[in-house]
Chains A and B, each alone.
Chain A
């Protein structure tokens, strides 16, 4: 099997965005082949992100499947004026994963995780996707202040709310929300993402 091609591999991403957008438009009319092609492009980021957040392998597959059914159902709602297709899919995936984790928050499993939060910044061992991507993100995360980076990664990969992050880091919630915003802006600018 060929390694999953990242939608971000080999910038510029503009062409990739157009490709994915075209695929989504065809998915919107029920084109199964387009759905398969779209899946091949985004499945690794989706699956990897969901797994980071929910942890449990069985649940990861279940949530990933839900994400793609949602993409299939709602493909007609994708609006290119409101962001890239990858951001649209990633948003669905992350939101779905986070909501699932929060709804199961009372489980003992979750409590254990909360006791030992993982800082994703250093955890790159198991991912297989495009090295370039990961390196760039890693490098850009490195330009953030410690608090910005921890706030961003605990929220994104850990699935914590900003209030929970505040508790974990022992910092006021207002400070955390500000750091999250500043950190993401810096990350965005460093990665050359968005406008």
Chain B
């Protein structure tokens, strides 16, 4: 037609600056879905725009953080999605911010269809990002993803008596739970935190927590969850005991 449209590729800068409106943006995203080079370029340019954001930094009013607490408390989080767009079956823009409505049913179906394998991408980040001396139980990102995307996944949060907050996501269907904590009291080298599954029968060691990094511990996965189990946390001597030797500093009915 008569309109001299810029080559889609030259719009990578405008796209990274969010300077494309409606149809222009959609057109570029369609192009970028098939153009790896464009995607890579936008990724790089967005590191530059992020610095423009950093340069504009200004402290927000303190009240904002409080207001957010209330908002996040009632906002359901999205499960991970596959990052391989072929797996998704339909075209999914690989760039940009997805407008995500609360399509709970659709997401649930997605989680079901994908099972664990799909969720790995996000989890991988965190497994690799917290290397530590991996003293924790073998925690496979696949398993963590399985729990997080399980249709029956339930999240619990509780305070640890000696300080800190624990978050548990569990799936009875899979008999597994994911445990993470923040702000746990640091322990001397000779001790560690140990998780227990407390059932009608015997207490079952459910894994030793890794060293915290930046105040954050885990996530770790515990399996062998039986119905009626409670989750406990104790401080144990490093040697390992097989049964809890100190009082529970956290006890959760699962």
Bound complex: CA A194 to CA B48 (Å)? 7
B98 close to chain A: CB less than 8 A: yes
A114 close to chain B: CB less than 8 A: no
User: What chain A residues lie within 8 Å of B14 (beta carbons)?
Assistant: 155, 161-162, 176-177, 180-181
Stretch at the interface among B53-61, B186-194, B200-208, B222-230: B53-61
User: What chain B residues lie within 8 Å of A37 (beta carbons)?
Assistant: 182, 214-216
Interface size class of B (residues with CB under 8 A): 35 or more
Chain A interface residue count, CB cutoff 8 Å, equals 104
Closest to B95 in A: A82
User: Which one of B17, B43, B71, B122 contacts A77 once the chains associate, using CB atoms below 8 Å?
Assistant: B122
Most chain A beta carbons < 10 A, residue from B10, B61, B148: B10
**Known contacts A32-B157, A87-B50, A181-B10; is A26 also within 8 Å of B19 by CB?**
no
Interface string of A27-41 (1 = CB under 8 A from B): 011111111110100
A169-195 with Cβ < 8 A to chain B: 173-174, 176-185, 187-188, 191, 193-195
Q: B60 near A73 (CB under 8 angstroms)? A: no
Closest to A25 in B: B126
A147 close to chain B: CB less than 8 A: no
**Known contacts A25-B125, A31-B167, A64-B64; is A194 also within 8 Å of B56 by CB?**
no
A108-134 with Cβ < 8 A to chain B: 120, 126-130, 133-134
**Known contacts A29-B148, A29-B180, A127-B55; is A94 also within 8 Å of B80 by CB?**
no
CB distance from A139 to the nearest CB of B (A): 11
Interface string of B94-121 (1 = CB under 8 A from A): 1011101000000000000000000101
Q: B167 near A30 (CB under 8 angstroms)? A: yes
A133-176 with Cβ < 8 A to chain B: 133-134, 136-138, 152-153, 155-157, 159-163, 165, 173-174, 176
Q: A30 near B58 (CB under 8 angstroms)? A: no
Bound complex: CA A73 to CA B81 (Å)? 13
Closest to B219 in A: A29
A10 close to chain B: CB less than 8 A: no
B20 close to chain A: CB less than 8 A: yes
**Known contacts A25-B126, A47-B60, A178-B6; is A183 also within 8 Å of B13 by CB?**
yes
User: What chain B residues lie within 8 Å of A21 (beta carbons)?
Assistant: 125-126, 129
Q: A19 near B169 (CB under 8 angstroms)? A: no
User: Which one of A8, A61, A161 contacts B60 once the chains associate, using CB atoms below 8 Å?
Assistant: A61
**Known contacts A61-B61, A79-B122, A178-B6; is A185 also within 8 Å of B45 by CB?**
yes
User: What chain B residues lie within 8 Å of A138 (beta carbons)?
Assistant: 55
8 A-B pairs with the lowest CB-CB distances in the bound complex, closest first: A25-B126, A129-B57, A181-B13, A33-B182, A194-B44, A194-B47, A48-B58, A180-B13
